[in-house]
Chain A
Amino acid sequence: MSTLPQDARSTILVPGRLTAASIAPVWQRATQVLARNPDRAVIVDASELEYADASGIALLFHLLTLKRSHGAEISIRNLRPKVDAILKRFDARLAQNTHAASSSPPIVERIGQAVVQNLREAALRVQFVGKAVAALAASIVRPGRMRWGQIVALIEAAGADALPIVALVGFLMGVIIAFEIGNVARQFGAVLYVVNGVGIGLLRELAPLMTAIVFAGRSGAAFAAEIGTQKVNDELSALTTFGLDPAAYLVVPRLIASLIAVPLLAVVADIAGLVGGALVMLRFDVSFTQFYYQLVSAAHVGDVVIGIAKAAAFGVLVAGIGCERGLATGIGAAAVGLSATRAVVASIVVVVAADGIFAVLLDRIGL
């Protein structure tokens, strides 16, 4: 026990073992003793201390370096020479600024930084579009240089593998809109015209839109994550030092694959949706034959072509955004996830906006 003739209220008694697991109450008691004796000398009795890990050393160091007023200093007694030697190794400056730097800059500065950051990103995006178009044009001029094997593999991953989900989504869209419009139309005895609504709605709008959204979720995210991971692993730097432009090497095959795969997926969604619609129309006493003739008289080849053309445009947009987000990936594994998320969100917003622009333009030219 302590041999010091010292008032217990101003003494901090250090236990035999100071380890991370048991130090919390000791630290709290030390803080209390110091708070209770603001102008009185405090003694730290370390005679029982046998073992201290890093946190124990940290407590002693904290007590040793604490700034106190004159006459209220802290003195550590009976410290083992070995522990003392360890403590002497540390620079007193370590004790300052123990609260991690968390002070954020003022709001004006943050807004300014965000604006600059966004403008920079916007500039990069414009640059990317230019590069991608140039690279695409260059590879169309010289199709022999294209790596068709990779494009076929991409079409398989982004197109063929997406068939079941696109067919399912298309089928359900057909079922749902036929059912909803059918219930309303039956009240006016216009059940047959439901076929017009389902046909035109699906072919021109819903099939390409839903296909593009599924494509953004599956492949847009995958493109961003793949290219982002390649960037994190320095693969993009390797390409650049080989004299290859990553934009051309990685982006063009994906753009071409999407240009081929997404319209085909949209056709599948068209067919699945019409099948779903026709099945629901049976419930409203419209036979398959009636459905067919009504559809042919209501929808034209132009509607199918417009839908497919829109799907192609959406596909290129989604693939381009996915690749751009991938190339813009920051550092670290978390950045890859962020890029994939951003790619999906940006793709869906851009696709819906583009759909609106298509609607206005097609209306203007009377299609």
Chain B
Amino acid sequence: MAREIIRAENLTIGYGSRVLLQNVSFSVAQSEIVVILGGSGSGKSSLMKHVIGLYAPLAGDILIEGKSIVNAFGPERAALQRKLGIMYQSGGLFGSMSVLENVRFPLDEFTDMPDEAKNLTARMQLDMVAMTEAQDLMPAELSGGMLKRAAIARAMALGSDILMLDEPSAGLDPITAANLDQTILSLRDLLGFTFVVVTHELQSIFAIADRALMLDGHARGIVAEGKPAELRDNSADTRVRQFFNRLPDARAEMAA
């Protein structure tokens, strides 16, 4: 069993009195690609924002490499958060900086590396996501796929080897999405990165996921967990089979 990187224990999350997920537990091992999936509004993005410590859970705990991010404050929490590289749904690149400056930004802020070293590191990170050509462009000048790849490059910047990607392939054409999947796989295979990917793009899930966690808004929790192909073919739950086979509600009822 590989080293455990992220562990959620009996997590209950929600906003105010509205509970989204109740008593959710899961773990992510080193160099594993775990996909969190589920219908719109099932709490996928909220779960991710809690895991990275942006919001406090209503109950339960989240451990990053064995340390609780829920009970860590100030510099301690910041140190835990720096272990995680995050790609936000809309990229979150800083609009006033070029692509290269965006990727170099965490290095500028947190290290004493010489300029030459920072530039080379940033350029190599951009090369990993095939973005060297675009290094001097501003975020507003990038296409959707380029924006997401630049955001992944920035997420890696501080040597974070745990990458959390929120809907990386949403809104991308099939070729760009497939290239992105390939980038994720090669980063894992070559550099041993750990990935938590929030998505509901079926093809992307089958291409990259070692394990899938399926959330459901009604059940307020994880309704299925396992290899995507097995869930598709063998799940006892109608909703899970429906999701993986992309069936509308009526046909699923007939099949059941």
Q: Which residues on A are within 8 Å of B, measured CB to CB?
A: 19-21, 23-24, 27-28, 31, 53-59, 61-62, 82, 85-86, 89-91, 94-95, 98-101, 331-334
Contact = CB atoms under 8 A, between A and B. Distances in A.
A278 B114 CA distance: 68
A90 B111 contact: no
Given A99-B115, A333-B95, A54 B190 contact: no
B132 A94 contact: yes
B113 interface: yes
A91 B124 CA distance: 9
B141 A54 contact: no
Interface in B104-137: 106-107, 110-117, 119-121, 123-125, 127-128, 132, 135-136
A106 to B, nearest CB: 20
A365 B12 CA distance: 79
Contacts of B100: 100
B191 interface: yes
A27 to B, nearest CB: 5
A19 B161 CA distance: 11
Contact of B113 (A27, A94, A333): A27
A89 B127 CA distance: 10
Contacts, number: 95
B39 interface: no
22 contacts: A20-B113, A21-B110, A24-B112, A53-B159, A54-B124, A54-B128, A55-B111, A55-B159, A58-B121, A62-B120, A82-B190, A86-B190, A90-B124, A91-B127, A98-B116, A98-B123, A99-B116, A100-B100, A100-B119, A331-B138, A331-B141, A333-B96
B190 A89 contact: yes
Contact of A58 (B101, B124, B141): B124
Nearest to B135: A100
Contacts of B161: 53
A27 B120 CA distance: 12
A91 B130 CA distance: 12
B38 interface: no
A57 B116 CA distance: 14
A263 to B, nearest CB: 39
User: What is the interface of chain A mostly: helix, strand, loop, or mixed?
Assistant: helix
A341 B115 CA distance: 33
B72 interface: no
Nearest to B158: A20
B138 A94 contact: no
B14 to A, nearest CB: 31
A20 B191 contact: no
Contacts of B141: 331
Contacts of A331: 138, 140-141
Contacts of A332: 95-96, 138-140
Contacts of A19: 159
A101 B136 contact: yes
A54 B111 contact: no
B95 A55 contact: no
B157 interface: yes
B121 A95 contact: no
Contact of A27 (B98, B114, B191): B114
B159 to A, nearest CB: 3
Contacts of A85: 190
A331 B190 CA distance: 37
B106 to A, nearest CB: 8
B127 A59 contact: no
A28 B116 contact: no
B111 A21 contact: yes
A55 B116 contact: no
Contacts of A95: 120
B156 interface: yes
A54 B125 contact: yes
B117 A23 contact: yes
A292 B157 CA distance: 73
A90 B115 CA distance: 20
Given A23-B113, A24-B114, A332-B95, A61 B120 contact: yes
A98 B119 CA distance: 6
Contacts of A23: 111, 113, 117
Contacts of B156: 53-54
B124 A20 contact: no
B121 A54 contact: yes
A94 B111 CA distance: 22
Contacts of B158: 20-21
A141 B115 CA distance: 63
Interface string B156-175: 11110100000000000000
Given A23-B113, A54-B159, A331-B140, 8 more contacts: A21-B158, A23-B111, A54-B124, A54-B128, A55-B121, A58-B120, A100-B98, A100-B119
Nearest to B156: A54
A114 B139 CA distance: 24
Nearest to A30: B117
A53 B163 CA distance: 13
A355 to B, nearest CB: 36
Contacts of A100: 98, 100-101, 119, 135-136
A138 to B, nearest CB: 34
A56 B110 CA distance: 15
